[in-house]
Structure 1
Amino acid sequence: MTSIADFSSTPLAELLSLKGRVAIVTGGAQGLGKGIARRLAEAGATVLLGDRNLELACQTAAAIAAEYDAMVEAIAMDVSDSAAIAAAASHAKDAFGSVDIWVNNAGVFPHIPLQHMTDADWDNVFSVNARGTFAGCREAAKAMQGRGGVIVNVASLAGLRGISPGLSAYVSSKHAVVGLTKQLALELAPERIRVIAVAPSFMVTEGNLALIKQDPRMAELAAEAIPSMITSKLGRVGQPDDIARTVLFAVSDMASFITGETIVVDAAETA
């Protein structure tokens, strides 16, 4: 077994630098994925954005590339299709030479009461949130074998507890992501591949805001929850960059001795 490097004497700027590393971010066209991609590019990484909405992903990639003078590309990727995930990994290796960082961010969160949820509804959520994360981890591990790397799984507070009615599939799928993270950290440690989960509370993203507008039940829940988030604890609602900075820490050499953990980013909501 090859030991991970000891960075005790490495300057701080080098610890945070991702220069020369290649990152894949799923669900990267908007929301948390976009925020994560921005910070990784700013730190020097070459970034491949995977998303079902290729047009929007291309726009996001171009904007980030221009902002940071970075190499950022977009690729069509539906994480419920394992072949699409494998194709993205293959493209990254062929185009950029390696895959060093993989962020499993893509997810869905339909609000469906249990009595109305069909098998197809349940399977759709798990095909994206659980199996999509598993497939991303699998392809990342293949690409990183022999050289090491970091996998970050974007979970949720829903991976640690129940949150609200109508989200049984989402909560269950995110618990699966947390469990998968723990198991793969053990399994992949000999390959010098770290696996970390990040568990955000409610964040102000395009997806969350769209869901609130479309679903009166979610609007009601948000109307109750958001004021308490703003007025208590750290005094504001979470933004995508709060998660992006956490992911940047997790994939950098600052966190080189951390694996198997779920980093909760919730302004003490669960304290």
Structure 2
Amino acid sequence: MSVVDSSKKGPLTGLRVVELAGIGPGPHAALLLADLGADVVRVQRAGQIAEHDQQLRNRTVVEANLKDPADLEKVLGLVERADILIEGFRPGVTERLGLGPDDALARNPRLVYGRMTGWGQDGPWASVAGHDINYISVTGVLHAIGRRGERPVPPLNLVGDFGGGSMFLVFGILAALFERQTSGAGQVVDAAMVDGTAALSHMIWGWRGTGRWSDERGVNRLDSGTPFYDTYETSDGKYMAVGALPEQVHLKARDTLIEVDGVTQHGPAPRFSRTPSGVPTAPPSSAVDAETVWR
């Protein structure tokens, strides 16, 4: 890592990143930085690499035993020349290894130290194991995803690991790099998947607080509760997605795509078919025939 790869192009060309090998959002954050041109060195245990893992592209990989003093010193040597460090261990692990924020910033005061956990570095759940599905359930997001009258459906691991995890970590890292241009100092970016997931759901919680979103799944305008924002099976056994918002668009869709007499799917009250500025804050009404919603 003593020489930046001059062949790489992108807005982050010239930035040096040390990634302590992990899974999920940490490697994805490093991938995003690498794809934007940063020079990323992944530090991992011997034999750990997964050759076909696309999240590990655009990296230089080195092997080290972080519990071995000689190897640890080599890694700290990389840290001295880096702009960014990314780690996704449980709270306290890097500190015990001698690679915590205090250790790293003592060697490189300009370093942006990015940390990724599920619950945060402290608090009653900090040391509790978890996965994407746990983080999005505790924040209430998982409750909102699914069909009416059915159980919640996990949206792969896109919301917690990546949307609320790696994307927020990268956002914080880039903000810290921008601030460093003024202060000249590095800092710690502490990203938690529960925080990021909660932030992603601000709009829905705002609608709920003003009576525009029901806690019942499958009765709202964005959760399959309206016929103009849903998926439908096609004659060839596949599926099509219809996203006809706002009102003038779904009226056009009705005229061009839908045989009204054949629409029997139930939808929510007409208020959900209006644009947000015209939606009253009354409690949700019972389901009505889809034809009423289209009007």
TM-score by length of 2: 0.45
Q: Which structure is richer in relative contact order (CA contacts within 8 A, separation 6 or more)?
A: 1
Larger radius of gyration: 2
TM-score by length of 1: 0.48
Structure with greater helix share of residues: 1
